[in-house]
Amino acid sequence: MNDTSPSNSTLSPTVMDISFGNFQAALLFNGLLAIGLLLGFLIARARFPATYASRVFAVPQALQPHSLGFGVFSAISKVLVSDKELLDKCGVDAFAAIFHVRTMAVLFASIGLPAALVLIPINVTGGNGLQGINLLTLGNVADEKKLWAHFLFALYAITLTLYAIFRIINESVRLRVSYRTDSLFSNKVMMVRDVPPEWRNEAEIAEIFNRACENCVEEVIIPRVIPFTQGLVSKEHLAARNKLEASVSVFFSKISRLSHQGTAADSESDSAVDKPNEIITDEAVLKLRPKHRSPVITGKKVDSITEYAKAMRDAQRELSLLHSVSDSERMSTVFVVFREPFQAHLMSRSIVYNTPWVMGQKFPSVAADDVIWANANTTYFHREWRFLSTKLITFGMIIFWGAIVAATLTFTDLANLGKSIPAFQTFLNNNPQFSKLIGGVLPPVVVAVLISLVPPILRLLSVFGGSPLRTYTEQEVFSQFFSFQLINVFAVNVIGSSILASFNAIKDNPSSILDILAKSIPQSANFFIQYLLVQGLLAPSLEIVQAARLITGPIILYLFGKSPRSVLKSRQPPSFSYAESVATHGLTVTIGLVFCILSPMVLVFVVLYFSLYTMVYTYQMQYVYLAVKSTGGGKFLYTAANHMYVGLFIMEFMILAIFLLSKNLTISGLMVLIVAVTIWSFSQAQQFQSIIDTIPVSSVAGKTTQYSGGILLSDKMTRWVKYLVPSRPEEEDASLVQSGAEVLTAANTPVSGSAPDIVLAAAAESSVHVDIEHIGADKTPEKHAAKKVSASAMYTDPSMGNLDLKVWIPQCGVGNVYREIVNEIVAGTDTISESQIVSVGAGVDDKGNVGISNGKYAEMSAL
């Protein structure tokens, strides 16, 4: 590492300065843009609650966060609440996401501050003749004695990282065990695939599992295969209902606007109280009824309400006939309801038959809305072939995307373009500011855009490959997307920026290959500094600003908000998808770990990245995001901890390679020992996988211990055990709220083996376990509407169709219009009952705008 790279002499001064100039331009551009976005958010937050407080609309009073008002600084203290409050009000996965980014912010701040004080001064004075940002890298260190400082700092960083990994694993275990042992009904349900035809009856399945665990089965649900024609009729039924609602809503809007009479959306009555109509004549009312052409364009105009009401009645009549047919084939997937969640997990570990394609796949804690019904009746080998084909497609995508990313980086490398195109080099020399801005911003933006296209494709491939559950799909996409980014963002850039970039220098001077690589590998951090500038400053700023929702929300509401259902859909809070988000955070962790020694400058932007995301998630999870109905109960936190080992191993091997290239065998030998310790710690981390996947017996038996396995040197140090092993139950003062809206109350628990009734609470947030009675902030019970449905009705393919499909129309108090419309829809037949016509929380104001109530989200979303 004593010579200046031969490649440096071939570069013009302009091209050599572009690296540092790119950094300055990118920092200025991204910094100013991020500041502008955050200021815009602070200004717009209180003025656009539909965008920036959409979750408040969707949750009951007991789960709502603190009201922020219009103040900026006063709002900060209200957003920064305790972990207990975050967990209680936001749910497990939301809290896990905040915990993850917060832990990473603390970790990299603890590594970055000493690095700035120790390593950067050593690198700057290294004496290897590098320029620009490369001056700050390990490649600029020529004195081998100074490498001892880097080795000791690597030991410090690795120790902190291992500690952070096990802290995350312990928190994941705590959340996961509490989630799995909760009294949520879905925790007692086990999904079993590939049941043989001769075993597809309730008695056979109950006998199999009762044999393994005496009297453990409460109910067996075997859904039936829905014929294709029935699925089509169900879709026609749903489409006719939606069109009927829109037509009636448009009709009521015209009447209210013309008569200047509105009806409050939060009226307590489900049907409007008719008022005398002295403004609009009956003839005028008829002219206001909406019409459309049937068929479209070429057909004659028909009355929309009459036509769609008839279409819905016809579809419901046909669907009723199809429901009466009970000889359809039973699915190969069954759902077994056990008496206790622990029994479901115990039986999921059992082996039913001596071949893997007979009831080999069993999944405990399955919520009804988590099932992917399209894959519920696929055979074992059919799924295997589809799975293989998806892996081949994924491999092709890696090659395809890798080629595109590599080509993009080559094309946007202004130095290479300047060498290849003399005229372009002249342009760079004449316009240095332009070249710095483009070179600093364009490459990471292009890479980020290309990579963002990957998760939806991976999600489709996972479903096509036979994924049984949405949570299973998200876990698969999470791991695959992390691997995808690791190859196409990290590996491509490291290889392209070091080995390939040094190819000509190595060819001209083969004997100096070790010195050249030792200097060029740390220089690969330059791209990642630019990449983290974009991701660290713009990504969290854009996430909290939500520019797309802010702009498109009012437009969508204006164009399509014709019925209460469409208005509710436009106000639906966004869901947090951890597959994309946490996988991207994992890539940032890998970059930070790998380059914390090679190029400590990276740590500044890694700390900034996770600090901003901690603030953004703390706000978004409380006020914006509505977590998905089916969650993993914090399982992704454990996966994220395992992904950290990838960055740790890459860091250790790259540092080992640098020390070997520098011919420092003593430090290299010590690094080998560190790698061995890391491998051992990884094997210990894998021991927690079985705890994550099931329920420990001690949590059911109520047993606890302070035993640390001998990791503590003295029993007097047991107070430190909470930092090393999973939290004990008595330490959990927070009542963990869980996903799903269903709970099994004591009053509904069956004594015999009969099918249990499930109470579907009108929970405002589907990711939070809400009971029938909540204690609000004022300590008064808060009642929510609830209805009982059978477990077999819940675990049924939705394409079967719903004969109790609700027609949700707004209230209208002009004359007797509302009553006439209800009578017209029912039409004196028994096909559609009057109880199916509802107007819960919906009304029309005197300007003809359809509105919905702020306090009945759960009831409305269940319609």
Q: Where residue 440 falls among pLDDT bands split at 50, 70, 90?
A: low
pLDDT tier at 421, thresholds 50, 70, 90: low
Mean pLDDT of the chain: 78
Backbone angles phi, psi at 175, to 5 degrees: -65, -40
Polymer length of the chain: 863
Res. 511 pLDDT band, cuts 50 70 90 = low
C-alpha dihedral (749, 751, 756, 758), degrees to nearest 10: -10
Question: What per-residue confidence (pLDDT) applies to 81?
Answer: 84
Q: Residues 775-798: pLDDT tens digits?
A: 333 333 333 334 456 788 888 888
Task: Provide the pLDDT confidence category of residue 31 given band limits of 50, 70 and 90.
Answer: confident
Give the confidence band of 719 by pLDDT, cuts at 50, 70, 90: low
- Res 856: pLDDT: 79
Residue 460 has pLDDT above 90, yes or no: yes
| Strand duo 781-783 + 773-775: pairing | antiparallel
Indicate whether 734 pLDDT > 60.
no
Most confident of 4-18, 175-189, 405-419, 766-780: 175-189
Strand partners, 743: 759
Mean pLDDT within 252-258: 86
364 preceded by a cis bond (ω within 30 of 0): no
Dihedral sign, Cα of residue 476, residue 480, residue 481, residue 486: positive
Tell me the per-residue pLDDT of 839-855, one tens digit each, with 9 for 90 and over: 888 888 888 888 888 77
The pLDDT of residue 754: 39
Where would I find the beta strands (DSSP E) of 388-526? Answer: none
Residue 464 has pLDDT above 90, yes or no: yes
For the residues 266-292, what does the mean pLDDT come to?
A: 63
Question: 621, 768 in Cβ contact below 8 A?
Answer: no
To 10 degrees, the CA torsion angle through 226, 227, 233, 237? Answer: 0
**Residue 14, pLDDT above cutoff 50:** no
**pLDDT-based confidence at residue 123 (cuts at 50, 70, 90):** confident
pLDDT at residue 550 greater than cutoff 80: yes
Report the predicted TM-score, pTM, of the whole model to 2 decimal places: 0.82
Question: What is the structure's pLDDT at 611?
Answer: 93
Residue 825 CA to residue 478 CA, distance in Å, equals 47
- Closest by CA position to 525, among listed 115, 837, 235, 100: 115
Closest to 798 (Cα-Cα) out of 223, 400, 54: 223
Question: Is 807 within 8 Å of 245 (Cβ atoms)?
Answer: yes
The answer on pLDDT for 629 being more than 60 is no
- pLDDT beyond 90 at 683: yes
* Predicted pLDDT of residue 502: 58
Decide if pLDDT at 318 tops 80.
yes
| 209-251 residue pLDDT tens | 999 888 899 999 999 998 888 999 999 999 999 999 999 999 9
Confidence of residue 432 (pLDDT cuts 50, 70, 90): low
pLDDT at position 452 over 90: no
Distance CA 243, CA 265 (A): 21
pLDDT score recorded for residue 518: 54
| pLDDT for 414 | 59
**Degrees to nearest 5, angle at CA 764 with 759 and 765:** 100
Query: Among 292-301, 305-314, 424-433, 772-781, whose mean pLDDT is lowest?
Result: 772-781
Q: How many CB atoms lie within 10 A of CB 782?
A: 16
Residue, of 419 and 716, whose pLDDT is higher: 419
Residue 752, both tokens: 């015999």
Residues 6+ apart with CB under 8 A from 363: 190, 191, 348, 468, 469, 472
Q: What is the pLDDT of residue 777?
A: 36
3-state secondary structure of 189: strand
What angle is formed at CA 699 by the lines to CA 694 and CA 701, rounded to 5 degrees?
120
Across the range 440-467, mean pLDDT stands at: 82
Q: What is the pLDDT of residue 665?
A: 84
Q: When comparing pLDDT for 55 and 75, which is higher?
A: 55
pLDDT at 259: 78
The residue ranking higher by pLDDT, 521 or 387, is: 387
pLDDT at position 24 is: 73
The pLDDT score that the predictor gives to residue 497 is 60
Angle at which helix 525-533 crosses helix 13-44, to 10 degrees, equals 20
Average pLDDT over residues 108-132: 79
String of DSSP letters for 784-852: --EEEEEHHHHTS-GGG--TT--EE--B--BTTHHHHHHHHHHTTSSSS-GGGEE-TTEEE-TTS-EEE
Q: How large a percentage of the chain has pLDDT more than 90? A: 24
